[in-house]
């Protein structure tokens, strides 16, 4: 069956998610705020859950219609053939949100949708009572400017839950955002990569997963693995294929931090992720960071100085980062921070900056592009 699918994304990352989908072979993408829409079958649901590094989740779009009254919401929801996906014993869990819409009471919308889904199921299964003791189907009613979008979640716990982060340092980055920072930097394993403020190691670990072409979902399960519409063989084929695709590339990523306790956490996380041997961890202050390598790449997420008492220290830190990074001849560097004066303190204007959200904190990703290694420049000029 062909489904309308939605890959949800954090604000600012839609184009990164769209590029990942293109690289996976999908076209006719519709990119909107916080989501990318595309079409696919059961195999595509498994594939996207397994491989998307920067999306939050993969949803099946069941219907979209205008709903300004509860009656319109009820009738529109009831018309949908929910039984095509939800089996007779499916557990129907309804969640909701409403933005700039006439129907603003989310609990009421949720219970209307639940009643209407059950009515549709009665039509399909010709019975009045459903036990709901089977697999879970999380239905979302999302109202935006009176347009109701109904979806079923295929992912379960968000895609950022790769399964390697038992432990985290202070203010860890979400794995999906860390992967996006790496993809945006255009780093590849032929270049040295360093995160000299690595905390729990998320950027280094995500970069190593990218470098090894390891599927981010390989060590976890997804809620739709329990569903009858996706045969178990689809999942086992996708998993086996993902294992075969891990490459033999060898590279070393440098991950350092001033705090030795977070380095210990980062090591444990890298071990769980299966990429420990590709990352060199070290306790080191960024002020001491140096390298003789050329064309390296720094990706980092320093403290933002948002907590009381931290501001002055962070401003000093940014000044010293500016001096250290600019002494690294031919390197590119990428810094994520919410600090409004970052460029002034760092004493260099970024080639490009991008608005991104780290949770609820609005940040900019400051991108400083150094020269590319010669062979790569020649190759790119020939394209
Ligand atoms: C926002 S956290 C990084 C979180 C990390 N991206 C993660 O996912 O866990 C900032 C890190 O910078 C480190 N740090 C602060 N000052 C430093 C310095 N002078 N040199 C090296 N690391 C420093 C802190 O110890 C902290 O782990």
Provide block-wise average pLDDT over 10 residues at a time, the chain (383 residues): 97 97 97 96 98 98 98 98 97 97 97 98 96 96 97 98 77 94 96 96 98 97 96 98 97 96 95 97 97 95 86 95 95 97 97 96 97 68 53
How would you class 274 by CB atoms within 10 Å of its CB: exposed for 0-12, middle for 13-18, buried for 19 or more? middle
Residue 307 has a pLDDT of 77
- CA atoms of 268 and 352, how far apart (whole Å): 34
**Residue 235, domain member (yes or no):** yes
Mutate to test the pocket of ligand 1, among 258, 265, 363 (most ligand atoms within 8 A of CB): 258
Ligand 1 within 6 A of CB of 264: no
Examine the domain organization and report whether 64 and 128 are in the same domain. Answer: yes
170 lies in some domain: no
Binding site membership of 203 for ligand 1 (Cβ less than 6 Å): yes
pLDDT at residue 311 in the model: 87
Distance of alpha carbon 303 from its chain centroid, rounded? Answer: 21
Residues 142 and 204 occupy one common structural domain: no
The verdict on 146 and 199 lying in the same domain is: no
Ligand 1, residues 209, 303, 321, 361: which to mutate, most atoms within 8 A of Cβ? 303
pLDDT value at residue 310: 87
Burial class (CB in 10 A: 0-12, 13-18, 19+), 5: buried
Give strand pairing partners of 336: 365
Q: Considering the domain boundaries, does residue 161 fall inside one?
A: no
Shared-domain flag, residues 26 and 137? yes
Whether residues 143 and 193 share a domain: the answer is no
Regarding whether 199 and 104 lie in a shared domain, the answer is no
* Phi, psi (rounded to 5 degrees) for 253: -105, 140
Q: According to the 3-state scheme, what is the secondary structure of 165-207?
A: CCCCCCCCCCHHHHHHHHHHHCCCCCCCEEECCCCCCHHHHHH
Number of the ligand 1 atom closest to the C-alpha atom of 170: 2
On whether residue 233 sits in a domain, the answer given is: yes
Structure token digits, residue 346: 């760092």
- Shared domain for 82 and 185, answered yes or no, is no
What CATH number does residue 11 fall under? 3.30.2130.30
Closest to 304 in 3D by CA, of 179, 200, 170, 146: 170
Residue 335 covered by a domain: yes
CATH number of the domain to which 314 belongs: 3.40.50.150
Residue 42 structural domain: 3-153
Closest-CA residue to 159 (of 70, 254, 224, 77)? 224
Instruction: Check if 305 has its Cβ closer than 6 Å to any atom of ligand 1.
Output: no
Same domain, 118 and 266: no
In a domain? residue 160: no
The minimum-distance atom of ligand 1 relative to the CA of 168 is: 9
pLDDT of 169 reads 55
- Determine contact, residues 63/152, Cβ cutoff 8 Å: no
Please check whether residue 173 is in contact with residue 197, taking contact to mean a CB–CB distance below 8 angstroms.
no
Is the domain of 109 the same as that of 189?
no
Query: How much distance in Å is there from the Cα of 324 to the middle of ligand 1?
Result: 16
- Residue 197 Cβ inside 6 Å of ligand 1? The answer reads yes
Residue 159 lies in a domain: no
Q: Are residues 227 and 354 in the same domain?
A: yes
What backbone phi and psi angles, to 5 degrees, belong to 140?
Answer: -115, 130
Tell me the best of 160, 166, 169, 200 to mutate to test the pocket of ligand 1, counting ligand atoms within 8 Å of each CB and taking the most. 169
Domain match, 120 and 197 both? no
Counted domains in the chain? 2
Task: Look at residue 68 and tell me if it is in a domain.
Answer: yes
Task: Compute the distance from residue 210 Cα to the ligand 1 centre, in Å.
Answer: 22
198 and 336 inside one domain: yes
């Amino acid at each position: 069956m062909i489904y309308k699918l939605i890959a949800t994304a954090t604000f600012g990352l839609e184009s990164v998610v769209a590029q990942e989908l293109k690289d996976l072979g999908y076209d006719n993408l519709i990119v909107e705020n916080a989501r990318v829409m595309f079409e696919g079958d059961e195999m595509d649901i498994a594939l996207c859950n397994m491989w998307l590094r920067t999306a939050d989740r993969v949803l099946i779009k069941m219907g979209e219609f205008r709903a300004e009254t509860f009656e319109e919401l009820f009738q529109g929801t009831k018309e949908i053939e929910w039984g095509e996906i939800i089996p007779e014993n499916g557990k129907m869990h309804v969640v909701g949100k409403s933005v700039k819409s006439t129907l603003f009471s989310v609990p009421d919308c949720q219970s209307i949708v639940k009643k209407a889904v059950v009515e549709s199921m009665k039509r399909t299964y010709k019975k009045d009572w459903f036990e709901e003791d089977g697999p879970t189907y999380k239905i979302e009613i999302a109202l935006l400017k009176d347009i109701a979008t109904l979806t079923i979640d295929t992912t379960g716990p968000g895609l950022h839950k790769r399964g390697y982060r038992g432990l985290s340092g202070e203010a860890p980055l979400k794995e999906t955002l860390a992967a996006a920072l790496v993809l945006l930097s255009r780093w590849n394993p032929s270049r040295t990569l360093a995160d000299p403020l690595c905390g729990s190691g998320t950027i280094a670990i995500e970069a190593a997963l990218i470098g090894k072409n390891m599927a981010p979902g390989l060590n976890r399960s997804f809620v739709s693995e329990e569903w009858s519409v996706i045969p178990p063989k689809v999942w086992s084929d996708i998993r086996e294929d993902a294992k075969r695709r891990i490459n033999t590339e060898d590279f070393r990523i440098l991950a350092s931090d001033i705090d030795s306790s977070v380095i210990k956490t980062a090591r444990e996380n890298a071990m769980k992720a299966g990429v420990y041997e590709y990352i060199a961890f070290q306790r080191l202050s960024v002020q001491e960071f140096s390298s003789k390598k050329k064309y390296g790449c720094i990706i980092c997420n320093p403290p933002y100085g948002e907590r009381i008492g931290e501001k002055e220290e962070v401003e000093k830190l940014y000044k010293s980062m500016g001096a250290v990074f600019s002494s690294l001849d031919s390197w590119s560097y990428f810094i994520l921070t919410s600090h409004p004066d970052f460029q002034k303190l760092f004493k260099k204007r970024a080639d490009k900056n991008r608005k991104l959200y780290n949770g609820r904190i609005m940040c900019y990703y400051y991108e400083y592009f150094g020269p590319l290694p010669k062979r790569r420049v020649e190759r790119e000029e020939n394209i």
